[in-house]
Amino acid sequence: MSKKAIVLQTTLELITKQGIHATSLSQIIKESGVANGTVYHHFKNKEEIITELYLMLTQDFGTVVMRNTPEDDIKKQFTVMWLNLFYYFVNNPLAFIFSEQIARSPEIPQSLKDRARQYYGEIESYFKKGVKQKVFKSYNTLIMEELFFGNVVSLVKIHENEQVKLQEKHINQAIEISWRGFLKDQTII
């Protein structure tokens, strides 16, 4: 792992454990074991580290969601997208915590959030295509994306809290409930 990657990983670990304000640059340097000069070679300050970390994770989310989606079947695409994000969060708990606690907080400036939207272009296109094909209700695609994301997050929280011993049938039920919420005609399957 490169020194830059070590700094980013250390920052992720510290921020998810104690928050942005409680994490100082000196603590990041100390915990990462990377020399001051090396850190400053890659980043001007803590805000620049957080910006890069935020953009990196946002790009991961956008890429992971669309990975291996089938070309022509909109419902299969939805299922694959849903499962991709669910398992990404289950297998990357720090990314999940960051997404929930940090990325959606007012501590991340709106200008950075707007900049990161570029990584969700394929997801937005998917929902626009579904609306255009009259499979989905004609809703604002940003709202659709957020609701999709929120449905996945809700199941991840159930998994994390072990409120229900999740089985494949529960995951499939959650996908079906989510899918039906977007459908224009509830008889379409």
Domain boundaries, the chain: 1-43, 54-182
User: How many C-beta atoms lie closer than 10 Å to residue 64's C-beta?
Assistant: 17
pLDDT on residue 187: 58
Q: How many CA atoms lie within 13 A of 122 on its CB side?
A: 16
CATH topology for 1-43 is Arc Repressor Mutant, subunit A (1.10.10)
Rounded to a whole number of angstroms, the CA Rg of the chain reads: 19
Phi, psi of 183 (to 5 degrees): -65, 135
Mean pLDDT of the chain: 92
Q: Percent of the chain having pLDDT more than 90?
A: 80
With beta carbons less than 8 A apart as the criterion, state whether 28 and 69 touch: no
pLDDT on residue 102: 81
Whether the predicted model's global pTM rises above the 0.75 cut: yes
Contacting residues for 171 by C-beta, under 8 A, at least 6 apart? 83, 86, 155
Q: Is 186 helix (H, G, I), strand (E, B) or coil?
A: coil
pLDDT on residue 105: 79
User: How many C-beta atoms lie closer than 10 Å to residue 24's C-beta?
Assistant: 11
Distance CA 71, CA 42 (A): 39
- In this structure, is the dihedral angle defined by the CA atoms of residues 121, 126, 128 and 132, taken in order, positive or negative? positive
Beta bridge partners of 183: 136
Which CATH number is 54-182 given?
Answer: 1.10.357.10
* Greatest extent of the chain over all pairs of C-alpha atoms, in Å: 62
pLDDT on residue 186: 66
Residue-by-residue DSSP string for 116-133: HGGGGHHHHHHHHHHHHT
Low-confidence ranges of the chain (pLDDT < 70): 163, 186-189
Distance CA 101, CA 20 (A): 10
User: How many C-beta atoms lie closer than 10 Å to residue 164's C-beta?
Assistant: 10
Contacting residues for 31 by C-beta, under 8 A, at least 6 apart? 10, 13, 14
